[in-house]
Structure 1
C-alpha cells in the first residue's frame, strides 16, 4: 500500500468524528481494489492516483463527507442524490450511505479500466448566460482607441471578466475606480487577471 502520511493527518486531525470511519473505510477499499494506487493531496483533499491519473478522492466537511471517482458518471449512475454533493454518493454521514464493499471494489476496478483504456473523464460544460456591456464601460472603451483595439481582440471570456468586475461594485466610487482601471489595463493590452497568466 502506497500511503501518504498527509492523508493520515487529514483523517485524524481535520475530519469530523462522524467522517473518520467513512474515510478510513473508503481508503481501505480503494487500496484493496487497486494495490498500485498512490495517495496524495489534490486541492487540499485526499486523492488516489493510478498510473499518474486521478482515480478517486475523499473529503470531510462540517456536516458530511464525500467520495467520488474522477471519471464520475462513467463509473457510477449519477442520477439522484449525487447532485446535492461532491462525488457520486451524495452527502455521506455514515457508512450506511455507501454501497457495500464488493460494489465499491467493482466500481473502483471499473474506474481503473477507464484509465487503462485511456478514456478521458466526461465533464459537463456549464454554459454562462450572455452578458451585456454596460453603457458607461462601452463609452469609456470607445473613447480610447488602444483600449478599444484590445477589447475587440479579446475572446468573450476576457470581456466577461471585466464586465463582471465593474458591475459587481457596490458603491459608485468603486465602480468609477474599476472603470478607470479597466481602461488603463486595456490600454496596456492586458487581460483582467494578467498577473497570473505566466505563473
Structure 2
C-alpha cells in the first residue's frame, strides 16, 4: 500500500504531541485511497507523489495543514487563506476533513494527475507588476557589476523575493545585514531561497 518513506515516520515522531494523530490519520488516508502513492520529503515536510506532485501535509507549533497540489482545480477559490493547506488550521482530529470527504478529494486529485490536467488559462492570475528596486539595493548593485549582471538576469519572481526580504526588515541593522547577504548570494547566482531549491 504505497511507498512509505522512513523520513516521514521521523517527521511525525518529532512533531508536537497534538500533531501526531492528525499526521498519522492524513497519511494513512492518503495511502489507503491512493495505493500507488510515493512518499517523500520536499521543502522540509511530507509530500505524496502520484503522477507528479499530489498532496502534502505539515505540522506547525499549534496546528497542522494538508493540501493538494492542484487545489485550484478541486476547490476553486474556496481554499483556506488563513493557513497553508486547503483545510485551514487543523488543531485536532475534529478539525481534519472526514475520511469520506477526503477520499472523494483524493480520487478527484488522482484523476487530475492521471490525465495531467492543468488549470485553464482563465484561472491564472494576472502577473504581478515588476517590483521597484529600493535605492540602497540599486546603489549596492551599481558598485558590484557581477551581482548587478546576475540580478538583471534573474526572473521577476527571483528579484521580487530579494526586494521583499529587504523591505520586511524592521531595523536598519537587519536591513544592512540582509543587503550584504543578498549581494553575496546574488553574485554567486543564488536565488533568495536557494537553500530550499534542492530539497
Mark yes or no: TM-score above 0.5. Answer: yes
CA distance in 1, matches of 2:130, 2:6: 43
Out of 95, 101, 107, the residue aligned to residue 103 of structure 1 is: 101
Output aligned runs, 1:34-183, within 5 Å: 34-51=34-51, 53-79=52-78, 82-120=80-118, 127=128, 130-131=131-132, 134=135, 137=138, 141=142, 154=153, 157=156, 170=172
Change (3 A) 1:87 1:9: same
CA distance in 2, matches of 1:3, 1:30: 11
Change (3 A) 1:162 1:76: closer
List per-residue Cα deviations over 1:2-30 (Å, max 9, x = no partner): 21111111112x21111111111111111
Query: Residue 130 of structure 1: CA displacement?
Result: 3.9
Report the counterpart of residue 12 of structure 2 in structure 1: 11
CA distance in 2, matches of 1:21, 1:164: 37
Greater Cα shift, 32-41 or 69-78: 69-78
Change (3 A) 1:42 1:170: same
CA distance in 2, matches of 1:132, 1:196: 18
Q: Does the CA-based 8 Å contact 2:54-2:110 persist in structure 1?
A: yes
List per-residue Cα deviations over 1:47-98 (Å, max 9, x = no partner): 11112x1111011110000000111121235426x10111100000011212
CA distance in 2, matches of 1:9, 1:135: 44
Return 5+ residue gaps in structure 1 as ranges: 186-190
When Rg is computed on C-alpha atoms for both structures, the one with the higher figure is 1
CA distance in 2, matches of 1:32, 1:85: 26
Report the counterpart of residue 188 of structure 1 in structure 2: none
What is the total number of aligned residue pairs between the two structures? 181
Change (3 A) 1:195 1:55: same
Matched, 1:30 2:30: yes
CA distance in 2, matches of 1:47, 1:136: 36
Report the counterpart of residue 190 of structure 2 in structure 1: 196
Q: Secondary structure at the match of 1:96?
A: coil
